[in-house]
Amino acid sequence: MITKQLIEHIEGEASVYFDMEGDKVDFATVVFPHFRGMESFLEQKSALDALVITPRVCGICGHAHLMATVRALEDAYKNGGYEVIPTQKANIIREFTLVMEMIQNHYKWFTMVIIPELIKLGGNSLENKPLKGAYASSLASKAIAVFGGQWPHSSYMVVGGVTCDPTYVEVLQAKSYVQELIKFFEKESLGLSLEAFLSFESCKEFQGIDSDIAQLEKTLIALGMHTKGFAHDRFLVLGEHTFSGIGKLKGTRVFHVDAKFVTTTSAYTPHEKTYAYNALYKDVYYETGSLARLMSTHSPMVKNMHRRYKDSAYSRVMARIFELATLLQHAKSLLQKIDVTQDSVVPIEHIHTITAKGIGVVEAPRGPLVHEIFLKNGVIESYKIVTPTQFNIGSSTRKKPTPVQKAMQGLSKTEAEFVFRTFDVCSVCTTH
Q: What is the pLDDT of residues 114-145, one digit of tens each?
A: 999 999 999 888 988 889 999 999 999 999 99
pLDDT at 112: 92
pLDDT at 3: 82
What average pLDDT does range 359-374 have in this prediction?
A: 97
- According to DSSP, the residues that pair with 382 across neighbouring strands are 374
CA-CA distance, 72 to 76, in Å (whole number)?
6
Q: Are 304 and 202 in contact (CB under 8 A)?
A: yes
CA-CA distance, 347 to 272, in Å (whole number)?
50
Residue 189 amino acid letter: S
pLDDT > 80? residue 209? yes
DSSP 233: S
CA-CA distance, 215 to 139, in Å (whole number)?
24
321-356 tens-digit pLDDT: 999 999 999 999 999 999 999 999 999 999 999 999
Residue 125 amino acid letter: S
77-117 tens-digit pLDDT: 999 999 999 999 999 999 999 999 999 999 999 999 999 99
**Cα-only R_g, the chain:** 21
How crowded is residue 275: how many other Cβ atoms within 10 Å of its Cβ?
A: 17
Q: Are 239 and 245 in contact (CB under 8 A)?
A: no
Q: Which region among 1-10, 36-45, 153-162 has the lowest average model confidence (pLDDT)?
A: 1-10
Q: How crowded is the C-beta side of 415, counted as CA atoms within 13 Å?
A: 22
218-261 tens-digit pLDDT: 999 999 999 999 999 999 999 999 999 999 999 788 999 999 99
Peptide bond into 401 cis (omega under 30): no
Name the burial class of residue 208, with classes exposed (0-12), middle (13-18) and buried (19+) by CB atoms within 10 angstroms of its CB.
exposed
CA-CA distance, 287 to 280, in Å (whole number)?
10
Break the chain into its structural domains and give their ranges: 2-430
Mean pLDDT computed over every residue of the chain? 94
Q: Are 364 and 61 in contact (CB under 8 A)?
A: yes
- According to DSSP, the residues that pair with 368 across neighbouring strands are 363
Name the 3-class secondary structure at 391.
Answer: helix
pLDDT at 9: 67
CA-CA distance, 41 to 383, in Å (whole number)?
9
pLDDT at 320: 97
Cα–Cα distances (Å) from 314 to 186, 203, 230, 250, in that order, read 21, 11, 10, 19
User: Class of the 2-430 domain?
Assistant: mainly alpha
Q: How crowded is the C-beta side of 181, counted as CA atoms within 13 Å?
A: 31
8-66 tens-digit pLDDT: 767 778 899 999 999 999 999 999 988 888 899 999 999 999 999 999 998 888 999 99
Residue 46 amino acid letter: S
Q: Are 406 and 418 in contact (CB under 8 A)?
A: no
CA-CA distance, 426 to 36, in Å (whole number)?
13
pLDDT > 80? residue 432? no
pLDDT at 5: 81
304 contacts: CB under 8 Å, gap ≥ 6: 201, 202, 203
Sign for the pseudo-dihedral over CA of 400, 231, 258, 275: positive
